[in-house]
Amino acid sequence: MGRLNIDPIWVFPDGSQLLISTQHSGEGRFTCGLYVGSPGPEEKLDFRVLTGYFESSTCLEAQESAYRRAQSLYPATAEGMKKPPYLIWAGPQSAKYA
């Protein structure tokens, strides 16, 4: 799996986490996806994709769509979930040399 920007929005009793990833897709489009990260070997998380990507013309709208989906998937934990806005990663920054 490639590098993801992720923001945990809920931690389950077993230590796994509900995560959201937000990316700028270019041309004014933003996407968000939901993942579950479970503790794996060497203190790393093993990721499982929960949803396809939610796309919108604004970052906040994409994040709110993903948040609503997370609430519907885990209604018993919905009240305690971290609400938007979340982290966003716009991609690698170009290096400037003097």
**In this structure, what token pair is assigned to residue 91?**
């991609």
In-domain check, residue 25: yes
* Parent domain of 56: 7-80
pTM of model > 0.75: yes
Sign of CA dihedral 10, 8, 25, 59: positive
In-domain check, residue 52: yes
**In this structure, what token pair is assigned to residue 22?**
């937000």
Bridge partner list, 92: none
CATH number, position 47: 3.10.450
pLDDT digits (tens, 9 = 90+) for 31-88: 999 999 998 888 888 999 999 999 999 989 999 999 999 999 999 999 999 999 997 6
In-domain check, residue 98: no
